Structure 1
Amino acid sequence: MKITDPGDFHERIRRSFRNQNAMGMLGAELTRIQQGMVEIELPFDPKLTQQHGFLHGGVISAPLETACTYAAYTAIAPDVSLLTIEFKVNLLSPGRGERFLFRGEVTKPGSTIIVADGRAYAISDGPAKLIASMTASMMVIRDRLDVVE
C-alpha cells in the first residue's frame, strides 16, 4: 500500500491514544511512535492481576492489540481510520515484572486489511522477558462519520 500523504501520524496517534479511556484506566503510556511500529508501556499494578498475582491475560492483550493498531495507523492516510477485526494472542510466560512493554509492528500493509504482529515484555532487573505474542488484523474504515480517528 502506497500512502502519498500520511500526514503527521505521530500527532494523530497521540491524540487518539489520549481518547482511549481503557488505556487510561490501565495506566498505559504511549512511549514510542515510528513508521510501522508503536510501543506502549504499563507499570505493574496489583489491581491488574489475576488470582496468582500475575498480570491478567486480558490486561496483556488490551495494550498489545492497541500497539498493533496504532502501528497500522502509521500506514494509512489521515482521512481514514481502523478497527481491529481479529487477533490471536499467545501467552508465553507469566506476566511478572515491574513494567511491561507492548510493541506492535506492521507485518503486511494493505488498502483494506492491515496485519500487525505484537510482542509483550516484562521488565525488571535483567533483560526483558517475552511474555506474549499477537497477530492482529485491522480493517481500514472509510467514509464513516461514526468511526473517526
Structure 2
Amino acid sequence: MSILETGDFRERIRQSFDRQGAMAMLDAELTRVEQAMIEIELPYSEKLTQQHGFLHAGVISAALDTACTYAAYTTIAPDASILTIEFKVNLLSPGRGERFLFRGEITKPGSTIIVADGRGYAIGDGPAKLIASMTASMMVIRGRQDIVG
C-alpha cells in the first residue's frame, strides 16, 4: 500500500472529528487513530434505536462512513480533504449491545479516489458481534476554500 507523507494526521483527524456535530449528537468517540485505520465507539442509547430497540441503520451507516472517511484522511496530504462519493452497507445482525465499535480500514489508497472497508460490532456480554459491513469510495479534494480539513 502506497501512502503519502501525511504529517501529523492524528492531531488533524482529532480536530476535524471534534468539529462533527453529527458524531457529537451520537455521543461517538474517536478511540483509535492509526495509519489507514480508524475506530469510533458509541454507547447504546434508546434515542439511537429503531422501533424494535436495535441501533438504527442510519446511525450504523453514519458511524461506518465516518470511520472509513477518517481512515482515508490518514493517507492524504495535510492540505487535502475527503468527501464520500459512494458507499454500500450490509446489515448483518441486529444492533444490540451495550457499546458499538466501528472500524474503517483503507483497502486501496489513491491520489484521487480512495476505497475503504468498514466493520461495525456490537459489544456486550461475550465476544464482539459483527453487525454491519461497508465498502466506501472517497474523493480527495484539493484547492477548495469551502472544504478544508
Is 1:52 the counterpart of 2:52? The answer is yes
Measure, in 2, the Cα distance between the counterparts of 1:55 and 1:125.
17
Cα deviation digits, residues 85-138 of structure 1 (max 9, x gap): 000000000000000000000000000000000000000011000000000000
2:147 alignment partner AA: V
Is 1:101 the counterpart of 2:105? The answer is no
Measure, in 2, the Cα distance between the counterparts of 1:142 and 1:47.
37
Measure, in 1, the Cα distance between the counterparts of 2:129 and 2:31.
18
Cα deviation digits, residues 59-93 of structure 1 (max 9, x gap): 11101100000000010000100000000000000
Unmatched runs of 5 consecutive residues or more in structure 2: none
TM-score of the aligned structures, taking structure 1 as reference length:
0.98
Unmatched runs of 5 consecutive residues or more in structure 1: none
2:19 alignment partner AA: N
Secondary structure, aligned partner of 2:107: strand
Secondary structure, aligned partner of 2:47: helix
Deviation at 1:52, TM superposition (A): 0.3
Runs of 4+ in 1 over 6 A off after TM superposition: none
What residue number does 2:73 align with?
73
Is 1:33 the counterpart of 2:33? The answer is yes
Is 1:110 the counterpart of 2:110? The answer is yes
2:70 alignment partner AA: Y
What residue number does 1:43 align with?
43
Deviation at 1:18, TM superposition (A): 0.1
Is 1:11 the counterpart of 2:7? The answer is no
TM-score of the aligned structures, taking structure 2 as reference length:
0.98
What residue number does 1:125 align with?
125
Deviation at 1:2, TM superposition (A): 4.3
Measure, in 2, the Cα distance between the counterparts of 1:145 and 1:63.
26
